Structure 1
């Protein structure tokens, strides 16, 4: 049993290293040593060079036919966390007002967390020491790659980034109008539904009473034997009569009125209402006399010309089916381009290489491979894996430096704090960093009890638990800057900073509990 002091130190130690790396990027940006252009270039290097190398160097040695089945539970948990985060963001938007230009961005902020730099740094540090084993660090990074793969596919090929783009479609709406709408919706949800339910029950009761009275009315009941012998007119209720009144001498309009004082025998005047039969007239023009037949021929030729023009335009204009096919082709191209990114290709290539013994033996020593070694005694392509290890080691620190740079550029509107959606900011932060870890632990334990997650795989259980307490990804800052058209992301910083502040406490508590539960 690990002591409380040791457990706290094991939980805090990786966070200290994370804070130091993030602080380097923060201070370098504040000192104007790390401009925006350099940060963007470094981000491209991470996505296209160092991160693919890190994934390849960890997945090839870690995955085997025995543990590759963990990819299924990892993908399932990753999808559950994204859906759960979007649900929490949706509840936050329902009960608290959110700026109009962040009405869909809050859903993206809840659904897509920072699954790259932060968890890789912390999980590698924790699994690289006791109570975990020596090879657990490599296996943990391989498991993290499944979360990164789901993140990339859902955010880009599946169109998650369009949520950020939809915020900047349409006219702007003032904050006061949004506040009033949310206030009315919240009042109805908390207090209005009992009144609505009461009115509905009262309406149903009135309908039942009315139906009972109509059933007891003798005039509406089925006729008896005496009434069958009576005259038909005696069983018919007199109904009020409607008549058409022509009050204008020119008969330009008429009214339909209901008059109960008029006698039923009052006649409606019909003089002058007969429409004369249509007749053909000749139209005389200065050039001569033109008959109706000539006009009909002229109109017919004109209509045929217009029909021909419209048919030609219809042939040139794409049909609905063609537009739908074109849209599908564009979406498929986007999906293919996103899948063909270096990070995705690295994961797609690493899995078959790790599972096929003859391929795996080219990069690392295996017992099932009969491939001869190079002159130095290593596998023929071991230098490729060495290169991937060397380049991949730079991915995490460089990513944390970029994270610190992004946090340093976030503007804190201190003078406008009263105009910010404080309720939504802190509600989303608490839901993602406090409530979500509790639910994540319960989900992991439940999936373990039903056999979806292996009870013997401690690394898998720890990774699934840890990924439930991650804050919003800083990638959304760049997406917002691109789609806003102005290069600003004014609503992102108030939502990000509280989450990253609470993250250190929630990660410490979650790590301590997970280690206690697993060991």
Structure 2
């Protein structure tokens, strides 16, 4: 008899009551999560959990509580023999995100969507709620059969955290957020053309002006010609203080320098009793000689000021990949794979000579206790903010037939996606050595992660980039898709978990 059959008999038996027990076991975590999310929605409606408060809580969760949760669950759950699980999760996460991107592309090209919601629909397909939803579900279900209680609970949270961190890297560090941002990028006007263009008519007018023959006095040696300006005007500075106008002025002087055989009078000065003629070639050379030194000095200073050091350039390139959750995961994996370091935090059979604390625990066990104490706040706070975000969803304007788009997106993500996830997980378990058949929690997390809705973080990103004016079609479309997916999730996730417990594990 297969392992899956033994697990099925141990869990539920073959009668109808056993199947009902499995369904209830699968649905009960959803009730718990719905209750917590409902509390968040209630407090949001009361004005207590405002968007500003949600933003602050999200920052606290991502930068403090989540790193503690990751460290306290990864260190005891991994060793050098289980590192293939990390590679499997990363590979699976990439597959699911590519699959979601394809789903978004199918919806974009085959269903009616707002013309301004092009990158957002791809992001809605690609990025799923691998954070609070999966962590809360695995932490709750790990206490039931066929899992091994606290050991599998820690593993489930660790696996879910790796899924989440892999998505955060793609979203924030590899440019996934640009999919959302591209919907709100407007064509920036050509400022250079706007500055240069007003000079063109003057240049053309001067081109067609009648040349003025210089008088004899202006040709005498030592004679100095002065440029006259309109009354009431001030002498223009050269170079201008505002560097933004340098291109227009240089273009004007370039027009002057290009006319070798004509002396061009100033339009205003030409109306005065005496017209002074100028040699434009000499003026251009004088201006370039005078201003070249100043410009070169200023430019050199600006280059010296703007040029970052090698260390700063290196930091600018690396800093996007340094986030508290990512750093916590890397440190935790290093500690988990080095027995002397691991023995500082948890009791291990690989290194028994480590001195203990006064309570006979490892020396740094207190750090693990802090993580176990604060870490469970991650799914609770996450679900609370999920409820608050859902309660603020508004649907103002949608194109005709958009609800068919919502239906297609929901079915593809929550029905077709899990089918692919089940096939991927079972085939990798049967035909490769990457997944241990006895590691039921890894298989469960991989399957569960394929059947969750779009990440609610898409709401915050869309709101952040959306302009204050406009009809808000992008946010309305995203809100409708989220409402449809989370409504279908109540049924689809229960069915997926029930099938996984009965037929896969």
- Please report the TM-score for the alignment, with normalisation by the length of structure 1: 0.70
- Name the SS for the 1:431 alignment partner: helix
Counterpart residue number, 1:346: 328
Tell me, in whole angstroms, the C-alpha distance in 1 between the residues paired with 2:316 and 2:493.
Answer: 36
- Give the alignment of 1:82-231 within 5 angstroms: 82-134=97-149, 135-170=151-186
Counterpart residue number, 1:358: 340
- State whether residues 158 and 335 of structure 1, in contact with CA within 8 Å, keep that contact through their aligned partners in structure 2: no
User: Are 1:7 and 2:22 matched, yes or no?
Assistant: yes
Structure 1: 5+ residue runs without aligned partners? 173-282
- State whether residues 25 and 404 of structure 1, in contact with CA within 8 Å, keep that contact through their aligned partners in structure 2: yes
Encode CA deviations 1:176-211: one digit per residue, 9 max, x unaligned: xxxxxxxxxxxxxxxxxxxxxxxxxxxxxxxxxxxx
Tell me, in whole angstroms, the C-alpha distance in 2 between the residues paired with 1:39 and 1:393.
Answer: 18
Counterpart residue number, 2:233: none
User: Are 1:45 and 2:60 matched, yes or no?
Assistant: yes
- Give the alignment of 1:344-493 within 5 angstroms: 344-369=326-351, 370-413=353-396, 416=397, 419=400, 421-448=402-429, 449-486=431-468, 489-493=475-479
Encode CA deviations 1:366-418: one digit per residue, 9 max, x unaligned: 112211111111111111111110001111111111110110111144xx566
Q: Which runs of 4+ in 1 moved over 4 A?
A: 283-286, 293-296, 298-318, 328-335, 416-420
Tell me, in whole angstroms, the C-alpha distance in 2 between the residues paired with 1:346 and 1:62.
Answer: 14
Q: CA RMSD in A?
A: 3.4
- State whether residues 100 and 167 of structure 1, in contact with CA within 8 Å, keep that contact through their aligned partners in structure 2: no
Match for residue 27 of structure 1 among 29, 42, 64:
42
- Name the SS for the 1:98 alignment partner: coil
Deviation at 1:116, TM superposition (A): 0.4
Tell me, in whole angstroms, the C-alpha distance in 1 between the residues paired with 2:213 and 2:399.
Answer: 79
Match for residue 287 of structure 1 among 216, 221, 237:
216
Tell me, in whole angstroms, the C-alpha distance in 1 between the residues paired with 2:101 and 2:296.
Answer: 43
Deviation at 1:117, TM superposition (A): 0.4
Q: Which moved more, 1:106-115 or 1:44-53?
A: 44-53
Deviation at 1:330, TM superposition (A): 9.4
Deviation at 1:450, TM superposition (A): 3.5
- State whether residues 135 and 161 of structure 2, in contact with CA within 8 Å, keep that contact through their aligned partners in structure 1: no
Structure 2: 5+ residue runs without aligned partners? 1-8, 13-17, 189-211, 220-259, 264-278
Tell me, in whole angstroms, the C-alpha distance in 2 between the residues paired with 1:411 and 1:285.
Answer: 75
Counterpart residue number, 2:195: none
- State whether residues 112 and 400 of structure 2, in contact with CA within 8 Å, keep that contact through their aligned partners in structure 1: no
- State whether residues 59 and 354 of structure 1, in contact with CA within 8 Å, keep that contact through their aligned partners in structure 2: yes
Deviation at 1:315, TM superposition (A): 9.9
Tell me, in whole angstroms, the C-alpha distance in 1 between the residues paired with 2:344 and 2:491.
Answer: 44
